[in-house]
Amino acid sequence: MTTQNPYILTLASNSSRRLDLLHQLNITPNSIKSPDIDETPLKNEHPYDLALRLSLGKAQTVFDQNKPNNSNSYVLAADTVVACGRQILDKPQNAEEACAHLAKLSGRRHHVYGGITLITPKNQILHRKCKTLIQFKPLTAQEIDNYVQSDEWEGKAGAYAIQGYAGSFVKLMNGSYSNVVGLSLYDTIKILEKGGFKIPTSSNSLS
């Protein structure tokens, strides 16, 4: 028997990866908004703090834009930051930057930081932070070149998609795999439950 969800969920992200991950939880957002915020790191800002701040900025922007309909509305937002130490490896703008990112990650450990924010119908703001440790195998120049030519890196923090061919680069992982893809399923369930959002018991839409 299907449980009807009385609430409306807006996903403050246009990421197809996050939408696919929500589908794994039997959640289909009622709407998807792509907030336009400045994602520039603050001076000396830790990557962990950046991920959380950006998720809050996305959620708050979408929430504020939809105030007239907020009586039963939740807004969920997330951000993912890849970093070697405190050096943030953002989404590369071109193939040269993608090569540089992958060369930096080659044979080294790095962290993928996730920030998740939920704003409830009562204007309660909830946060979750998570991190995943990853070590790539040493990459040859040919491997890097072949990967960059695949275009799989485009639009990806750190210049790679772990759910694609780059998964073969991973020698070690400690933490949430889904966080690296774009949204920690464990932390998403926890934050939704804390906010009183009823998780559907089947794969139907929330609408």
Catalytic residue annotation: 79
As a whole number of angstroms, the distance between CA 105 and CA 111 comes to 10
As a whole number of angstroms, the distance between CA 37 and CA 51 comes to 13
> Which residues have C-beta within 8 Å of that of residue 146, sequence separation ≥ 6?
none
For 153, how many CA atoms within 13 A lie in the half-sphere containing its CB? 24
Angle at 88 between CA 169 and CA 180, to 5 degrees: 45
